[in-house]
Structure 1
């Protein structure tokens, strides 16, 4: 029922734009943003980049629309947007996530 979605973005401004877009559409209850150093394969070679990581809290029924909206405003050609299940947590917090994404 609850998921955490990870999205990387090239910089803080892009990350804030994506986060605000998702929040305004009630696709996320909360988005944390933190700097990360990334290493990855791209077009046949290993790349390195300083990015920001968005940690998005939402519900599973919002995932398809969240992916669509994140891709629409993301500057990357193939952005990282991956979801992992939340297997538990503070009931009051999870209730809050559900309320804020279903308002």
Structure 2
């Protein structure tokens, strides 16, 4: 069955702006992502090894194609500093067709 989407956003959290930028530059250069949007200053609360943690993280949204999404997520995992990084794929089911064409053609 064909998936109803071709373009997706890979949502990733990072410990710092520097790490997000470094990894974004690598995966864009490797043509695994068309672009990355970095959002600084997200407060995160989570249980880690039975301890309630609170930290400030950076969110990065990578735009990619379905065909490159698994490679992108694997590459980010290889480069990421976290033991278990948050890396999730959010399918884009609709949007500005000119933008979606740009993403597709960039890869």
| Band the TM-score falls in, shorter-chain normalisation | over 0.9
Distance 1:64 1:87 in 2: 18
Indicate the SS of the match to 2:63: strand
Residue in structure 2 matched with residue 93 of structure 1 by the alignment: 99
Residue in structure 2 matched with residue 32 of structure 1 by the alignment: 37
Tell me the C-alpha RMSD between the 2 structures.
0.8
Segment drifting more, 37-46 vs 92-101: 37-46
Indicate the SS of the match to 1:26: coil
TM, length-normalised to structure 1: 0.94
Q: Following superposition of structure 1 onto structure 2, how do residues 43-58 of structure 1 map, counting pairs within 5 Å? A: 43-58=49-64
Aligned pairs, how many?
101
Indicate the SS of the match to 1:58: strand
Aligned with residue 13 of structure 2, among 5, 8, 15: 8
Distance 1:80 1:67 in 2: 10
1:20 to 2:48 alignment: no
Structure 2 segments unaligned to the other structure (5+ residues): 1-5
Displacement of 1:74 after TM fit? 0.6
Displacement of 1:45 after TM fit? 2.0
Segment drifting more, 35-44 vs 24-33: 35-44
Aligned with residue 61 of structure 1, among 38, 60, 67: 67
Indicate the SS of the match to 1:48: strand
Displacement of 1:69 after TM fit? 0.6
TM, length-normalised to structure 2: 0.90
